[in-house]
Amino acid sequence: MDPITRSLLDTDFYKLLMLQFIWKNFPRTRANFTLINRTNSVRLGNMVNVAQLQEQLEATRRLRFRKSELVWLAGNTFYGRRGIFEPAFLDWLEHDFQLSEFDLSVRDGQLQLQFEGLWSGTSMWEIYALSEIGELKTRAALKPLSELELDILYARAKTRLWEKMERLRGVPCLNITDFGTRRRHSFLWHEYVVNSMRDTIGDCFSGTSNAYLAYKHDLEAIGTNGHELPMAMAALARDDEELRGSQYALLELWQQSYQGELLILLPDTFGTTQFLRGAPDWVANWTGQRIDSKDTYVAGDEYIAWLERHGCDPRQKRLIASDALDVEQILGLHAYFAGTLLNGASPDDFRSAGDFHDPRRWIPERRIRFSAGWGTLLTNDFRGCNPQGNDGFNPVGLVCKLSEVDGRPAVKLSDNYSKALGDAKEAERYRRVFGVAGVADVPVLT
């Protein structure tokens, strides 16, 4: 077997930060994670060899953190701070951490995969499972290609990557992070892309969310927190009033553990508009906001206006875009938010961004510190590259999300109806509690 996951660090850095938070605050809480294929027209159960997936998952479950990896976590500086990971947590990682068991089957051509156990043992499965399924899908699509066809496939993908990097190279004040682990083409391609970005766009490339690649290549590890935390807090709420306040109770608990650049809001779990409308004043002291499911122009303007109403200077805050980005969207959003505002332009002028390399078109006027978390279309853009012409390399909208906490259903509403997850009856209850202000219904790309 050629293992896909060779290290437990081969995951998003924020999973490690969240794991320490779970270990410290919810050591006995149980949680289920469930695989969901949003692109249900793609029958992954017919494309991926289930026996091979079983073998890969079992091999991952046997992995343990290496001494050198734990030394890196203990001694490295993250976000300018050493010692983010507590010695007791690192000791637990070395001696007691254990991935939970899993249940795998195929139904109606779709993979059925669930992880059940202690939250500390199920949370980390999310990225391992997604990247392993994605790479097995890639291996299956590669199998029928001849040597020449393989050369053509990767030559086309490299050319596309180069063209994207060329458009980004030299753009002033640009800040891009690799967010592409979960839906990458393969580990080796992911590594190639990250090294190419570092070598080509230089300081514009701020780092990677992948902890192993950061460790291996001496890059900045980037990440804060994800939707599973507010989803779990909400699921544990005893009544509607506690449910409504759970999103802010989580922030209080998080800031007891982390400070500085790790205080990034992710307000869209139950809707950004309601979150900001009801947020206590102290939330404005957090460092910034990540946008994951709302139109980034709309959400960014909404956040800036909210900061101004709370007496904060938005230029000192950070805005992170992370939803289905590609080079056009990155350039347009950067020009709109980050250091360059075209005179008299509206968001619609930026949605199909032209060439923003020419500084003569720019007016220096930073509105907020903008960063782009570039995911699927950085590490898995093989659309149209297959010389056989089929779409077997196209990315699939696969997620592995928290589905149950201590026997209670978990729900994610999102700013996009198409991204909502969870039991339908419970989701309706959540909508009654949180409302639907600012929620839209738009297609999900990945």
d(CA 123, CA 121): 6
DSSP summary character for residue 315: G
Is 72 within a domain? yes
Q: Are residues 89 and 169 in the same domain?
A: no
The answer to whether residues 350 and 297 touch, using CB atoms and an 8 Å cutoff, is yes
* Same-domain status, 223 and 291: yes
Residue type, 437: A
Same domain, residue pair 137 and 193? no
Domain co-membership, 115 together with 237: no
| pTM metric for this prediction | 0.95
- Identify the sign of the CA torsion 155, 157, 161, 163: positive
pLDDT tens, residue by residue, 52-82? 999 999 999 999 999 999 999 999 999 988 9
Rounded Cα distance between 351 and 333, Å, is 8
Q: How far apart are CA 250 and CA 283, in angstroms?
A: 11
* Residue 429 covered by a domain: no
> Are 140 and 198 part of one and the same domain?
no
Phi then psi dihedrals of residue 271, to 5 deg: 115, 120
Residue 67 shares a structural domain with residue 111: yes
Together in a domain, 78 and 109: yes
Query: Does any domain span residue 287?
Result: yes
Please say whether the beta carbons of 375 and 384 come within 8 A.
Answer: no
Q: Residues 302, 308, 313, 319: what is their CA dihedral angle, to the nearest 10 degrees? A: -10
Q: Both 30 and 104 in a single domain? A: yes
Give pLDDT, residue 353.
57
Beta bridge partners of 72: none
* CA triple 122-127-132, angle to 5 deg: 110
d(CA 176, CA 2) in angstroms, rounded, equals: 31
Q: Is residue 233 part of a domain?
A: yes
Pair of tokens at residue 77: 């500086």
Q: Which residue has the tokens 């990971």?
A: 85
26 & 50 share domain: yes
For residue 206, the domain's CATH number is 3.20.140.10
Q: What are phi and psi of 387, to 5 degrees?
A: -65, -20
User: Which three-class secondary structure state does DSSP give residue 265?
Assistant: strand
Chain mean position to CA 297: 19
Q: Which residues contact 161 (CB under 8 A, 6 or more apart)?
A: 193, 196, 381
Tokens representing 282 are 């102290």
Please, what's the b/e burial string for 254-291 (b: 16 or more CB within 10 A of its CB; e: otherwise)?
beeebeeebbbbbbbbbbbbbbbeebeeebbebbbbbb
Q: Is residue 189, in this structure, part of any structural domain at all?
A: yes
CA neighbor of 177 nearest in space, from 212, 223, 138? 223
Note whether 205 and 62 are same-domain residues.
Answer: no
Domain count, the chain: 2
- Shared domain check, 93 and 140: yes
User: Does a structural domain hold residue 1?
Assistant: no
Q: What is the DSSP string of 375-414?
A: -HHHH---TT--TT---TTS---EEEEEEEETTEE--B--
| pLDDT in the model for residue 359 | 54
Report how far residue 409's alpha carbon sits from residue 423's, in angstroms, rounded to the nearest whole number: 7
3-state secondary structure of 368: coil
Are 133 and 110 part of one and the same domain? yes
Confidence at residue 362, expressed as pLDDT on a 0 to 100 scale? 61
Question: What does the pLDDT look like over 374-412, one tens digit per residue?
Answer: 999 999 999 999 999 988 899 999 999 999 999 999 999
**Structural domain for 318, as ranges:** 156-379
Structural domain contains residue 113: yes
Question: Mean pLDDT for each 10-residue chunk of the chain (446 residues)?
Answer: 96 98 98 95 94 98 98 94 95 98 97 98 98 97 97 98 94 93 98 98 96 98 96 98 98 93 95 98 97 95 97 96 93 82 66 59 78 97 94 92 98 95 95 96 70
Q: Is 104 a domain residue?
A: yes
Amino acid at 100: S
Distances 195 to 189, 199, 202 between C-alpha atoms, Å = 10, 6, 10
